[in-house]
Chain A
Amino acid sequence: MTRMAATRDGYGEALLALADNPKVVVLEADLGKSTKSLHFRKAHPERTVSCGIGEQNMLLVGAGLASSGYIPFASTFAIFTERAFEQMRNGIARPNLPVHLCGSHGGTHTGTDGSSAQSIEDLAIYRTLPNVVVMHPCDDVSTKELTMQLPGLGKPSYMRTARNKTPVLYEGKESQIKIGKGITLIEGNDVAIIACGVLVHEAMEAAKALQSEGISATVVDMHTIKPLDTELLDSLSLKCGAIVTAEDHSIIGGLGGAVAEHIVTKHPVPMEKIGVHDRFGESAGSEEMLEMMGLKSHHISDAAKKVIARKA
Chain B
Amino acid sequence: MTGMSISELEEMARKCRIEICKMTHRAQAGHPGGSLSEIDILCALYGHRLRARSDDPDWDDRDRFILSKGHASPGMYAVLAEMGFISHTDLESYRVKGGVCQGHVDMKWCPGVDFSAGSLGMGLSYGMGCSIAANIDGSKRNAYVMVGDGEIQEGSIWEAAMAAAHHELGNLKLFIDCNGIQNDDFCEAQMRMFDIPAKWNAFGWAVKVIDGHNMSEIVSAIDWMDTVTDKPAVVIGMTVKGKGVSFMENNPAFHGAAPSDEQLAIALSELGVNA
Chain A residues at the B interface, C-beta cutoff of 8 Å? 28, 30-34, 38, 50-54, 56-57, 79-80, 83, 112-117, 282-285, 288, 292
Closest CB in chain B relative to A178 CB, distance in Å: 33
Closest Cβ neighbor of A56 among chain B residues = B155
Contact flags B107-151 to A (C-beta < 8 A → 1, else 0)? 001000000111111000000000000000000000000000011
Closest CB in chain B relative to A121 CB, distance in Å: 14
Closest Cβ neighbor of A112 among chain B residues = B95
Interchain CB contact under 8 A, A53 and B104: no
A112 to B154 alpha-carbon distance, docked (Å): 24
Closest CB in chain B relative to A155 CB, distance in Å: 27
Interchain CB contact under 8 A, B106 and A83: no
Pairs A–B under 8 Å by Cβ, sample size 30: A30-B153, A30-B182, A30-B184, A32-B184, A38-B184, A50-B189, A50-B190, A50-B191, A51-B191, A54-B154, A79-B119, A112-B27, A112-B95, A112-B103, A113-B29, A113-B103, A113-B104, A114-B106, A114-B118, A115-B116, A116-B118, A116-B119, A282-B98, A282-B102, A283-B95, A283-B96, A283-B97, A284-B97, A285-B97, A292-B97
Given contacts A83-B119, A282-B97, are A115 and B154 in contact (CB under 8 A)? no
Q: Chain B: how many interface residues by the 8 Å CB criterion?
A: 30
| Chain B residues closer than 8 Å to A32, beta-carbon distance | 184
Those 9 A-B pairs whose CB atoms lie nearest each other, nearest first: A116-B118, A52-B191, A284-B97, A114-B103, A52-B153, A112-B95, A53-B153, A113-B103, A114-B102
Given contacts A113-B29, A113-B104, A114-B118, 8 further A-B contacts (CB under 8 A): A28-B184, A33-B183, A112-B27, A113-B118, A114-B102, A115-B118, A116-B104, A292-B97
Contact flags B161-198 to A (C-beta < 8 A → 1, else 0)? 00000000000000000000011100001110000000
Say whether chain B's binding surface is mostly helix, strand, loop, or mixed: loop
Closest Cβ neighbor of B255 among chain A residues = A33
B70: interface (CB < 8 Å): yes
B99: interface (CB < 8 Å): yes
A113 to B95 alpha-carbon distance, docked (Å): 7
Closest Cβ neighbor of B71 among chain A residues = A113
A83 to B109 alpha-carbon distance, docked (Å): 24
Chain B residues at the A interface, C-beta cutoff of 8 Å? 27, 29, 70, 95-99, 102-104, 106, 109, 116-121, 150-151, 153-155, 182-184, 189-191
| Chain A residues closer than 8 Å to B97, beta-carbon distance | 282-285, 288, 292
| Chain A residues closer than 8 Å to B121, beta-carbon distance | 53
Closest CB in chain A relative to B37 CB, distance in Å: 16
A58 to B201 alpha-carbon distance, docked (Å): 27
Interchain CB contact under 8 A, B102 and A30: no
Closest CB in chain B relative to A1 CB, distance in Å: 24
A114 to B104 alpha-carbon distance, docked (Å): 7
Closest Cβ neighbor of A292 among chain B residues = B97
Closest Cβ neighbor of B253 among chain A residues = A33
Interchain CB contact under 8 A, B190 and A52: yes
Given contacts A53-B121, A53-B151, are A117 and B102 in contact (CB under 8 A)? no
Closest Cβ neighbor of B31 among chain A residues = A113
Interface centre among A114, A117, A284, A292 (most CB of B within 10 A): A114
| Chain A residues closer than 8 Å to B99, beta-carbon distance | 283
| Chain B residues closer than 8 Å to A288, beta-carbon distance | 97
Closest CB in chain A relative to B58 CB, distance in Å: 21
A114 to B108 alpha-carbon distance, docked (Å): 12
A54 to B187 alpha-carbon distance, docked (Å): 13
Interchain CB contact under 8 A, B191 and A283: no
One of A34, A112, A115 near B29 (C-beta < 8 A): A112
| Chain B residues closer than 8 Å to A117, beta-carbon distance | 103-104, 118
| Chain A residues closer than 8 Å to B154, beta-carbon distance | 53-54
A50 to B182 alpha-carbon distance, docked (Å): 13
One of B103, B151, B155 near A283 (C-beta < 8 A): B103
One of A30, A52, A80 near B119 (C-beta < 8 A): A80
| Chain A residues closer than 8 Å to B27, beta-carbon distance | 112
